[in-house]
Amino acid sequence: MTKTIDTLVPDLQALLANGIEGLDQSLVDEFGKRVSEMASSRLKREPRDGRLRMSNIGRPCVRQLWYDYHDPNGGEKLSGDTYLKFLYGDLIEELVLFLAEVAGHSVVGGQDELVLAGIKGHRDCIIDGVLIDVKSASTYSFNKFKDGLRAEGDTFGYLTQLQSYLHASQSDPLVTDKSRGAFLVIDKTLGHICLDFHEYRNYDWEGFYERRKAIVSDARVTPPRAFSPVPDGKSGNEKLPTACSYCSRKWDCWPNLRGFAYSTGPTYLTTVMREPNVPEFKP
C-alpha cells in the first residue's frame, strides 16, 4: 500500500509506540552511513567562506549577511555548547528521515543541489512527492510550526528558504506536488512531531535574490539594521530583541553593546539607564 504525506506523522508515532518486526537491514546500514558522513563533516572546523546560500540569503537582516560576506571569520566564535546543539539537531533530523523510510514512506532527493540566480542550496529531501525541510526545535519554536509558521514569527527566514527550494524544484520530476512544501519539525525536548504545510508562492524569487546579492556585495554601504531595541522591563533600559541576541555579529552591529548574565540567561543592553545588579560580560 502506497503511503501519502498526510499519514506521515501518525505513521511515525505508531512506529515509535509499537515498534516493528522484520526491519530492513539495508535501511539501518544506510542510516548509519549518513550519520557517519554527517558527523565527520560537522566536526571539521574549516574557515568560513562567507558565500551566500539558499539557506541564508532569506534572513530578515541583510546587515548580518553583509558582515558575514565581507568578514566571514569575524564576529562571535561559537562555543562548544552551541556546536553540540547543532550536532544534536542534525542527528535528530537524520533519525526522523530514517524512521519515515522504516514507516513505509518514500524519502528521496536527500541533499540534492539546487541553484537559483546563481546561488546554490541543498534541500533536505522529498517525502511522498512533497518537498520537505526538516527542523529540530525547542518546545517554544516547535509551537510556532505546530500553529503554522507566520512571517512575523519567522526569526531566521525559514519561509523564504522553503519557498526558494520550492521555486527551484518546480521542474523536478521527483517533486510531484508542486503546489506546496512542508517543514517536518521535531521538538527535541519532548519528542513531538508535526508537519507545517505552506502553499507555493509564485513570486519573482530570482529578482529577490539579485537584489540581495547587490546589497550584500557592495562593500561601501553598510545596510541598515533590520530590528530595533525593545524595553527591558520598566527600568528605562533597552535590550536587543530575540533575533539580534542570537546573531554572531551583534557586537559589530552595536559597538556600545553591554552584556549582562541574568539567571534566566544573557541579556544584551543597548541603553543602560539603571545599572543591572548582575555580572557584566564581554565578547
192-233 pLDDT per residue, tens: 999 999 999 999 999 999 999 999 999 999 999 999 999 999
Task: Determine what percent of the chain is predicted with pLDDT higher than 90.
Answer: 90
Strand extents, DSSP E, 166-279: 180-187, 193-199, 230-231, 238-239, 258-262, 265-271
Question: C-alpha angle with apex 169: 164 to 175, nearest 5 degrees?
Answer: 130
Looking at residue 178, its pLDDT comes to: 96
Domain boundaries, the chain: 5-212, 230-281
Strand extents, DSSP E, the chain: 107-108, 113-116, 119-122, 125-127, 130-137, 180-187, 193-199, 230-231, 238-239, 258-262, 265-271, 280-281
Looking at residue 283, its pLDDT comes to: 87
Reported confidence tier of residue 47, pLDDT bands at 50, 70, 90: confident
146-186 pLDDT per residue, tens: 999 999 889 899 999 999 999 999 999 999 999 999 999 99
Q: What is the mean pLDDT of residues 19-42?
A: 93
- Closest Cα to residue 184, out of 156, 166, 162, 160? 162
Does the pLDDT value for residue 99 go beyond 80? yes
Looking at residue 46, its pLDDT comes to: 83
CATH number of the structural domain 5-212: 3.90.320
Q: What is the mean pLDDT of residues 100-116?
A: 96
Looking at residue 2, its pLDDT comes to: 79
